[in-house]
Amino acid sequence: MAVVLVHGNPETDAVWRPLMGKLGELGRDDVTCLSPPGFGAPVPDGFGATYLEYRDWLIGELEQFDAPVDLVGHDWGGGHVMNAVMSRPDLVRSWVTDVIGIYDPDYVWHELAQGWQQPEVGEKLVDAMVNGPVQERLSRWHGFGITREVAEGMIAGQNEEMGRCILALYRSAVQPALRELGEYLPSAAARPGLALLATEDNVVGTDEMRHRQAARAGAQVAALEGLGHWWMVQDPARGAKVLTEFWASVPG
Task: Walk me through the domains of the chain, giving residue ranges and CATH numbers.
Answer: 3-108+178-249 (3.40.50.1820)
Question: Residue 252 above 90 pLDDT?
Answer: no
221 in helix, strand or coil? strand
pLDDT tens profile 11-27: 999 999 999 999 999 99
**Longest CA–CA separation in the chain, Å:** 50
Contacts of 76 (CB under 8 A, 6+ apart): 8, 9, 36, 54, 99, 169
Distance between CA 62 and CA 215 in Å, rounded? 25
The pLDDT of residue 118 is 97
Question: Residue 35 above 90 pLDDT?
Answer: yes
Of all residues in the chain, what percent are helix, strand and coil, respectively (each to 5)? 50, 15, 35
How far, in whole angstroms, is CA 154 from its chain's centroid? 14
pLDDT tens profile 187-213: 999 999 999 999 999 999 999 999 999
Distance between CA 236 and CA 250 in Å, rounded? 21
Question: Residue 130 above 90 pLDDT?
Answer: no
- 41 beta partners: 37
- Say how many C-beta atoms besides its own lie within 10 A of residue 210's C-beta: 28
Strand residue runs (E) in the chain:
3-6, 31-34, 69-73, 92-97, 193-198, 220-224
